[in-house]
Amino acid sequence: MNDLMQPEDPNSRCGFVAIVGRPNVGKSTLLNHILGQKLSITSRKPQTTRHQVLGIKTEGPVQAIYVDTPGMHEDEPRALNRAMNKAASSALIDVDVVVFMVDQLNWTSADEMVLEKLKRLTCPVILAVNKVDRLEKRELLLPHLDMLSKKREFAEIIPLSALKETNLEPLEQAVGRFLPQSVHFYPDDQVTDRSERFMAAEMVREKITRQLGAELPYSVAVEIEEFKRQGNTLHISALILVEREGQKKILIGDKGERMRRIGQEARADMERLFDSKVMLRLWVKVKRGWADSDRALKSLGMNDF
């Protein structure tokens, strides 16, 4: 470590923490609850997270910089899935700690695939067993944890509930113990490196995935075309991309009702986050095949890793 990185406080620690796992195990929920605010979008649908989101948590002398990753996929038939896998894998490069999330008593071939990617790592890997609050037979947990402990040498195995915030403190303490001694990389009050434009786009996309559930496939992207402040009002224009005309009709809804609901809910979240009045305008455009196109994904910032 060079002299610039040596902290004056010997207890000062700072480093990068990757949260990895197969789709829909609760990675985004965990990050949001650790930070105490929404940075990563959540829904019951897998593939919700497409970008690495940097969340920064500073607690006294410890600054943990969390990288939330897309769920890793076993197959990569589409450019979108390839981009998400690449994002998840690249998050493992040069991190100081990995939190590997699994879903209560479930262990699948997708979990095995993620575990395989972790075998090359030399940094500590903490296994977080999520959603244990939903277990009907709690006596099955200990044998399951014992089985998982034989999969590899984990630095810690911590059962928790990200949603109910159960056992998050032991997880954060474990992360802090494994971070290197270092000065803090970010100001202590900073919580993310993402731009306001990015956060606005993610809020619109979350409302779409939450409202439409299984009605609309994952082929939805949001681009912010306007983001400017006039007086006390923030003017935001968002373009929603879909692949087919039928998807556009579903998204708009009867007499535009669904689009109005998406806009109202996204605007409420934005006003809370940006602490400002927000004028939000939404448009829907059909852009065929964007989720299969590496070039289109690059223009949306989804495979620039």
Domains and CATH numbers, the chain: 3-178 (3.40.50.300), 196-299 (3.30.300.20)
Residue 90 has pLDDT above 80, yes or no: no
Q: Which helix (H) or strand (E) holds 91?
A: none
- 131 is an annotated ligand-binding site residue: yes
Is 72 known to sit in a ligand binding site? yes
Computed over every residue of the chain, the mean pLDDT equals: 81
Q: Is the pLDDT of residue 142 over 90?
A: yes
State the pLDDT at residue 88.
47
Q: Is 103 annotated as a binding residue?
A: no
Residue 81 has pLDDT above 80, yes or no: no
Task: Tell me how crowded residue 122 is: count the other CB atoms within 10 A of its CB.
Answer: 5
Look at the alpha carbons of 268, 270, 276, 282 in this order and tell me if their dihedral is positive or negative.
Answer: negative
CA neighbor of 52 nearest in space, from 40, 35, 34, 37 = 40
Q: Is 94 annotated as a binding residue?
A: no
Ligand-binding site membership of 25 (annotated): yes
Element (H, E) at 173: helix 168-178
So what's the pLDDT on residue 108? Answer: 94
Residue 36 annotated in ligand binding? no
**133 annotated to a ligand binding site:** yes
269 is in an annotated binding site: no
pTM for the model: 0.65
**What are the pLDDT digits (tens) for 102-131?**
999 999 999 998 898 888 888 999 999 999
On whether 11 is known to bind a ligand per the annotation, the reply is no
Say whether 23 counts as a known binding-site residue: yes
Residue 64 reports pLDDT greater than 70: yes
Taking 80 as the threshold, does the pLDDT of residue 77 lie above it?
no
